[in-house]
Amino acid sequence: MSAQVFVVDPDLFTQQLLTQNLSSAGHRVRCCADAESALVLLDEQLPDMLVLEWDLDGQSGETLVRRLRAAARTRELPLIMLSARAAEPDKVLALESGADDYLTKPFSPRELLARMGAVLRRRSAQASSDTIQLAGLRLDPGTQRVMAGTRQIALGPVEFRLLNFLMHHPERVHTRSQLLDMVWGRHAVLDERTVDTHVGRLRNALQASGHQRHIETVRGTGYRFVAWNAHARLGWPSAAPAPAW
């Protein structure tokens, strides 16, 4: 599948390497060196994929990602971040800021192509997902909104993808490893505790409407979305708090 790819990297060798390899794979490539130039390109045209270096002059790649994710026009832009930073906290920060994937330099162009394909397939599947209503929640992938009645629930991009996946597979138990594959991507190299962190954030966001109880921990396995009242399902009084697992 041919795609329009914007590469934002101050290193000319990286620009040339990616232009040569991506073009050979049938993609159309445009390059620039800094965040401000990237914003100019994005204002002219939205690409199918943005490949972005973390360390940019003027404005870091991580800051630019957050800026793009905050704007409606670029909120769903597929984006892979590049960096020589190999520590797990850096990878987590990049993904939490809104990057779809993270690739550590030096890397193989073939690996980048594989990751691009995975991100584009995952994004395409999410974009084509229908609006779903379960347990009093309405999730619309097209507008990236989650509603509990008339209340809009504010979720970060990772928490939205996590809830989207769980709601489209209700009652099914997913291991942490499976959730890393399906929500973060098969190439994400992260500790499984990352899943626990984001499930906690998702529950906190759902707490105001009382829907946190539908994200159920299955001890020793992982998580599932309970499509009906979890308390009634397990025989607890409806007013009783769920156990803190």
Residue 243 placed within a domain: no
What tokens appear for 235 in the block?
């025989």
Q: Say if residues 66 and 98 touch (Cβ distance below 8 Å).
A: yes
The reply to whether 24 falls in a domain is: yes
List pLDDT tens digits, range 9-62: 999 999 999 999 999 999 989 999 999 999 999 988 888 899 999 999 888 999
Residues 117 and 135 reside in one and the same domain? no
- Looking at the structure, tell me whether residues 111 and 25 fall in a common domain: yes
Confidence class for position 221, pLDDT limits 50, 70, 90: confident
Q: Are 173 and 182 in contact (CB under 8 A)?
A: no
Residues 97 and 168 in one domain: no
Quick one: pLDDT band at residue 189, thresholds 50, 70, 90? low
CB atoms within 10 A of CB 60: 16
In a domain, 65, yes or no: yes
103 and 66 belong to one structural domain: yes
Note whether residue 51 is domain-resident: yes
User: Are 8 and 83 contained in the same domain?
Assistant: yes
pTM across the whole model: 0.58
Our count of domains for the chain comes to 2
125-130 average pLDDT score: 60
In a shared domain, residues 120 and 45: yes
In the predicted model, what is the mean pLDDT of residues 174-179?
Answer: 87
Domain edge (last residue) among 71, 93, 127: 127
Q: What is the CATH number of the domain that holds 10?
A: 3.40.50.2300
The CATH number of the domain holding residue 208 is 1.10.10.10
> 128-143 pLDDT, tens per residue?
567 889 899 999 987 8
Domain presence at residue 244: no
Residue 241 in any domain: the answer is no
- Please report whether residue 245 resides in a domain: no
The answer on 141 and 116 residing in a single domain is no
The counts of H helices and E strands in the chain are 9, 12
Residues 18 and 112 in one domain: yes
Residues 114 and 30 in one domain: yes
- Contacts of residue 110, defined as CB under 8 A and 6 or more positions apart, other chains included, come to 21
Boundary-marking domain end, from 79, 105, 127? 127
Token pair, residue 91, equals 């990878």
Task: Point out the domain boundary residue: 127, 143, 171.
Answer: 127
Regarding whether 135 and 100 lie in a shared domain, the answer is no
Q: Do both 12 and 75 map to the same domain?
A: yes
What's CA 18's distance to the chain center, in Å? Answer: 23
- Kindly state whether residue 21 falls inside one of the protein's structural domains: yes
Residues 122, 136: Cα–Cα separation, whole Å: 26
Residues 11 and 121 in one domain: yes
Closest by Cα among 87, 96, 43 to 65: 96
Q: Is the peptide bond before 106 cis (omega within 30 degrees of 0)?
A: yes
Q: How many CB atoms lie within 10 A of CB 156?
A: 16
Strands (E), 108-179: 132-134, 137-140, 145-148, 151-152, 174-175
Q: What residue numbers bound the domain in which 193 lies?
A: 131-234
Query: Contact 184/175 with Cβ under 8 angstroms?
Result: no
What pLDDT does residue 241 have? 42
